[in-house]
Amino acid sequence: MATTYDKKSTASGVASDLASSITGKVVLTTGVSPNGLGAHFVETIAKHQPALLILAGRSAPKVQATADKIKSDPASANVETRVVILDLASQVQIREAARHVLAFPENIDVVVNSAGIMAGPYATTEDGIESQFGSNHIGHFLFTNLIMSKILASKSPRIVNVSSNGHALSPIRFDDYNFQAGKTYNQWDAYGQSKTGNILFSKGLAQKLGSKGLRAYSLHPGVVFGTSLAVGLGEEDFQDLGTIESDLEILCHPVLM
Q: Which residue has the higher pLDDT, 230 or 208?
A: 208
- Concatenated DSSP letters of 37-61: HHHHHHHHHGGG--SEEEEEES-HH
Q: Does 115 score more than 50 pLDDT?
A: yes
| pLDDT at position 181 over 70 | yes
Please tell me the predicted confidence (pLDDT) of residue 152. 98
In-domain check, residue 210: yes
Active-site residue among 5, 122, 177, 191? 191
> What pTM value is reported for the model?
0.84
∠ CA 28-95-99, nearest 5°, is 65
Q: Can 191 be counted among the known catalytic residues?
A: yes
**Number of domains comprising the chain:** 1
CB-facing half-sphere around the CA of 47: CA atoms within 13 A? 14
Residue 173 sits in a domain whose CATH number is 3.40.50.720
If one counts every other C-beta atom within 10 angstroms of the C-beta of residue 248, the result is: 13
CA distance 212 to 202: 15
State yes or no: pLDDT of 256 exceeds 90: no
Helix (H) or strand (E) holding 9: helix 7-22
Q: Is 215 exposed, middle or buried (0-12, 13-18, 19+ CB in 10 A)?
A: middle
The whole-angstrom separation of Cα 231 and Cα 93 is 24
Question: Would 244 be classed as within a structural domain?
Answer: no
Q: Is the confidence at residue 41, as pLDDT, over 60?
A: yes
Nearest to 54 by CA among 18, 17, 117, 107: 107
Asked if residue 51 belongs to a domain, the reply is yes
Residue 155 inside a domain? The answer is yes
- By residue range, what is the domain housing residue 132? 11-238
- pLDDT of 3 strictly over 60: no
Residue 142 lies in a domain: yes
Residue 257 included in any domain: no
